[in-house]
Amino acid sequence: MAKLEPASVTVPACDAVSLARRWVVDYFNRHDASAAREFATPTYALSIGEYTFAGRDEQWLPAVQKQMDQFPGLGMTVHQVLAGTNEVAVWFTQHGAAVGGRIACWSGVAIYQSNGHQLSGCVAQEDYLTRQRQLKSGVGDAVDAPAPAPWDTAPLPPNSQAEAVVRQWLGHAWPCSESAIRCDDEHITGMALDFSVQDLDITVLFSSGSEVAFHVRQTGFYRGGLIGLPASTRLNVLHANGIVRVEGGRVVAGRVIRDRAGLRAELLQGGVQ
C-alpha cells in the first residue's frame, strides 16, 4: 500500500495587525505556545540587542518560556500600534510578579514582519534595566494607559519626508532635546543616558502617515548615565527601537526603548574597540 503523505496546510491571508493581536492576546497573555505555532512560521526569529533567537520551536518559544517561568502571571498591555503593509510596530509593557513576589513592569517596542499569512520575525527592545531596578528595590512602577483600540489601527500611506527626518534625527546624540520623547525609564529616574553617536545602521524603518517606527544599531561613545559606570574612551554599540511622530519637519514626540542592559554588559567587558 502506498504511503500517504500528510496534507499541506493552507494558512489564510491575514493582515499584520491581526497577527500581532494573536501574538499578544492568544499567545502571550494566555501563555499558550500552541497558538504561536499557528500564526508564526517555523523559521520565526526574534532579534533583541545583539542576540537572535532563530527558529520558532528551537529557540524563540523556549526563550520566552524562561521569562514566563520567572514571572508566572506575566501579562502585556499595549499602548500603541503602528501599521504598515507587511509590518507592524507595537509599544507595550510587560508586567507581573516574579517568583518570590516582587512586582515589575518594563516597556518595549517590537516590530513584527509578516509574509501576508503568518509572522515571520521580530526585532524588539525591552527595558531590562528598569526591570532589574524594580526587582532590586521591591517597588514596581505604574503601567501606562492602554491604547483604547489598538487592534483597529489601519495603515496610512507612507511618508518619505517623515522617514527622512527620522533618519537624520537618529544620528544625533542622546539624550534627545525633545521633552515629549520618552526614552527608557528616564522620566521615572531622572537619569539620562549620555551617548555620542558616531555611526548608525538602520535595519528597519517604516512610516504610517506622520509616525515612523524604527530599529537602529548606533555606534558611538558612552559618556555617562549608567550607575557605577564612568565614561568610556572606546567605541560602544547601542540598539534602539522606537515609534516617533514628525510634525513641521522635526521629531516632536514618541517612545524609544534602548538596549541599555546590552550596553552595560559591553562596557563591563571593555567595549568593542
Going from N- to C-terminal start, the domains of the chain cover 16-152, 160-269
Contact 219, 199 (CB under 8 A): yes
Degrees, nearest 5: CA angle 54-79-141: 90
CA-wise closest residue to 217 among 199, 233, 195: 199
pLDDT at position 190: 95
| Residue 268, helix vs strand vs coil | helix
pLDDT at position 177: 86
pLDDT at position 271: 58
Residues in the chain: 273
Over the stretch 80-125, which tens digit does the pLDDT of each residue have? 999 998 999 999 999 999 999 999 999 999 999 999 999 999 999 9
The domain made up of 160-269 is a member of CATH 3.10.450.50: yes
Over the stretch 156-187, which tens digit does the pLDDT of each residue have? 999 999 999 999 999 999 999 888 999 999 99
Contact 266, 237 (CB under 8 A): yes
Q: Quote the cell numbers at residue 93.
A: 509593557
Q: Is the dihedral of CA 180, 224, 270, 268 positive or negative?
A: negative
Q: Quote the cell numbers at residue 269.
A: 567587558
Mark the ranges of the chain whose per-residue pLDDT is less than 70.
1-14, 271-273
Q: What are the respective helix, strand and coil percentages of the chain, to the nearest 5? A: 25, 40, 35
> What is the enclosing helix (H) or strand (E) of 18?
helix 16-21
Neighbours of 23 (CB within 10 A): 22
Please name every residue paired with 114 in a beta bridge, in sequence order, or none if there are none.
Answer: 119
Residue type, 17: V
The domain made up of 16-152 is a member of CATH 3.10.450.50: yes
- Cα gap 21→152, rounded to integer Å: 10
Fold: same for 16-152 and 160-269: yes
Strands 40-48 and 119-126: parallel
